Structure 1
Amino acid sequence: MEQKTVPQIAELLRDAPKNWGKWGPDDEVGSLNYLTHAEVLRGVQAVRSGKTFTLQIQMAHPEGDPVWPGRMQACRMNVMDKGHWMCGKGPLFPGLAQYADDMMIMYLQGSTQYDALGHVWHDDQLWNGYDAQSTIGGLSKASVLPIAERGIVGRGVLVDIARHRGKAVLDPGETFTHRDLLDAADAQDVKIEKRDILLIRTGWIGSFYQRDKAEFYKDYVEPGLTYSPELVEWFKDMEIPNLVTDTMANEVTIDPASGAALLLHNALMRNLGVTLTEIAQLDPLAADCADDGQWSFLYAAAPLKIVNGSGAPVNPVVIK
């Protein structure tokens, strides 16, 4: 069988739009610049009941966490607990206070997390044209730190593509486009507005906790958005600042047309500066939205302030 030649991303995106320089030569937060004070207030105006939801998955769960294949599970370990005092090795404080302490070893993108804009690139250039050599030893440009220090607050809208297709979870490799998102939003009676923070539920991460782990990871291919010039133009025209999904890569693992991996990471994040949030737990929020018919809300998030980090864990908060 003849093997398909996969074109380089630079060739596939030769004519794709860029927002480089739009916010100046030193910008490191990209399309988050769209989230002005007015956009924050628009998000506040979406609050109706005061119900709150957090979107992070649990970390270091004894039965395992969903992580990208090849990445190590988060490992939490005690370094101090009651056992130290039981064997006479605990420190003695005035008043005899005792305590527990622990530490964690993990990939910074091994939980619900924000990508730095410099996390993925092609053709030796990151977001805003920064040289890819700036990633050596840590991201000195377009790291997660400027995103973390800025924070992300605005009107969020959830599109439940799995529910729209009558499924608990999309199939491996199942794709959808921005037109599918618009159809699903219309069925939900919600409008995706300019500068909305866009949340998309596929059911994928939620299914991790319901399935055999070996089966979940077998021939690993996620469902997700698939690249097209029209989709990229839509994101650009809509000035979407932040894409949040319940998958590990926010896009189908391998683009079915070209065979390239991480094509939308390059088209949306590298070129347009759209911030990507991955591995979100959206099932409880989606169930509540389906129950009360409210699919828009205030979204607020701030990843950890990791200096030179390519990403950082986050626990986003939704207020309805």
Structure 2
Amino acid sequence: MEQQRWKQRPEGSNWGEFGSDDQLGRVNLIGPEQVRKGAAEVHAGRSFCLALPLDLPGGNALNARRNPPRLQPTWRGDTPVLNYGMDGLVPDSIDVVSDDQVLICLQYSTQWDSLAHVGARFDADGDGAEEMVYYNGFRAAEHVRGPQEMAESGCGCDGGHLSHADALGIEHMAEHGMQGRGVLVDLCRHFGRERRLIGYDDLARIMESDGVTVERGDFLVLRTGFAEAVVEMGGKPDPQVLHHSCSVLNGRDQRLLQWITDSGIAALCADNYAVEAYPAPDVAGRKSVLPLHHHCLFKLGIPLGELWYLKDLAAWLHEHGRNRFMLTAPPLRLPGAVGSPVTPVATV
């Protein structure tokens, strides 16, 4: 049974429009028609991997709390199961087995942000007091739980969980499929790797120049050249160079935010670190330091893809006078996670 968790919703949000218990947001717009539109873009039968290697950017210089993946074998007692001879278990066996595991930061490399990634302090109850809430009014501590709440409930003991998004977890996107039509806007082709704050005027001008149109339910994909610079650094990223390179969206541009609302896009993806400039241009008063995340994840339920690798796809599309493709990009079906690695595949 649906229950409304809020008495007032943020201005300009779509809370409740897909149902009071909705956990997909604008991903709901990716239905059978959008999948067919994506499939209709397949003519050459060629596919492009849009993921960086999962060990890039490399180190943790770009984000101190996110570390590269750590691979290790599984173990049978004190013996690593790597080049493991099965004759120790089954006499006369000729089999050799390798089996591994990984410790990974889910948003280290090419990734999706779930709708539980960024929330806000907002008076959802209409009583003058702000609560910590996420898209569609789901509550911090109640629906998105950290170590304290997990310990108090006793729910983390069996799986060893220290956090869990009971609502808005990444698994909902995985179950939906995340497959449809992608539309590429190549900012790098116009601006190179110049650090440039992209607002509505720049975006609209480039889309008109390149004949790009975006329709309801599309994945909007932005190439800036950032991921290409990361690859060239070979696992040793230079934060000073990267933080002053390539285009970033201006999350303070209200016309840009309104265009995102009006466009009907179901997801917004880019090859850079946060899609938008971080920190955003300063303004007076209380505000979000990630206003585009606030607008997309918190208000509209638009998931964000970050650090996608777009160079090869962009070159092929430009050569063939195209900007649309079929996109297949499901995250891990990992219940309770607030982000996920992804290996997007574009098919043309």
TM range (shorter): 0.7 to 0.9
Matched, 1:129 2:137: yes
Which of the residues 172, 175, 181 maps onto 2:197?
175
* TM-score with structure 2 setting the length: 0.79
1:185-264 matched pairs, under 5 angstroms: 185-211=207-233, 216-218=238-240, 221=243, 223-227=247-251, 228-258=253-283, 260-264=288-292
| Aligned 8 A contact 1:147 1:302 in 2 | yes
Note the alpha carbon deviations across 1:89-136, whole angstroms, 9 max, x for none.
964465321111111111111121111101111101100011122222
1:99-178 matched pairs, under 5 angstroms: 99-123=97-121, 124-133=132-141, 134-136=143-145, 137-165=163-191, 167=192, 169-171=193-195, 174-178=196-200
| Aligned 8 A contact 2:49 2:346 in 1 | yes
| Aligned 8 A contact 1:202 1:224 in 2 | yes
| Aligned 8 A contact 1:245 1:277 in 2 | yes
Q: Which runs of 5+ in 2 are unaligned?
A: 1-8, 75-80, 122-131, 146-162
2:324 match:
296
Please give the alpha-carbon distance, in whole angstroms, between the structure 1 residues aligned to 2:215 and 2:134: 28
Deviation at 1:189, TM superposition (A): 2.6
Secondary structure of 2:182 counterpart: strand
Please give the alpha-carbon distance, in whole angstroms, between the structure 1 residues aligned to 2:332 and 2:26: 19
Matched, 1:308 2:336: yes
Matched, 1:287 2:345: no
| RMSD, aligned CA | 2.5
Segment drifting more, 206-215 vs 153-162: 206-215
Q: 1:220 to 1:164 in 2, by over 3 A?
A: closer
Note the alpha carbon deviations across 1:223-271, whole angstroms, 9 max, x for none.
4111222222211111110111001211111111438521111111110
Q: 1:256 to 1:199 in 2, by over 3 A?
A: same
| Aligned 8 A contact 2:115 2:298 in 1 | yes
Please give the alpha-carbon distance, in whole angstroms, between the structure 2 residues aligned to 1:68 and 1:296: 31
* TM-score with structure 1 setting the length: 0.85
Q: 1:67 to 1:91 in 2, by over 3 A?
A: farther
Deviation at 1:182, TM superposition (A): 2.4
Deviation at 1:209, TM superposition (A): 1.9
The one-letter code of the counterpart of 1:138 is H
Q: 1:219 to 1:53 in 2, by over 3 A?
A: closer
1:43-58 matched pairs, under 5 angstroms: 43-58=38-53
Note the alpha carbon deviations across 1:126-166, whole angstroms, 9 max, x for none.
0001112222231111111111111112211100101112x
Which of the residues 52, 57, 63 maps onto 1:69?
63
Note the alpha carbon deviations across 1:163-210, whole angstroms, 9 max, x for none.
112x1x242xx3102332222222223322333210000111110122
| Aligned 8 A contact 1:170 1:202 in 2 | no
Deviation at 1:280, TM superposition (A): 0.6
The one-letter code of the counterpart of 2:250 is T
1:10 match:
none
Please give the alpha-carbon distance, in whole angstroms, between the structure 2 residues aligned to 1:17 and 1:60: 38
The one-letter code of the counterpart of 2:116 is G
The one-letter code of the counterpart of 1:180 is D
1:9 match:
none
Q: How many pairs were matched up?
A: 299
Q: 1:93 to 1:201 in 2, by over 3 A?
A: farther
Deviation at 1:219, TM superposition (A): 8.1
Note the alpha carbon deviations across 1:35-68, whole angstroms, 9 max, x for none.
121121112222221111111111236x937885
Identity percentage over the alignment? Answer: 28
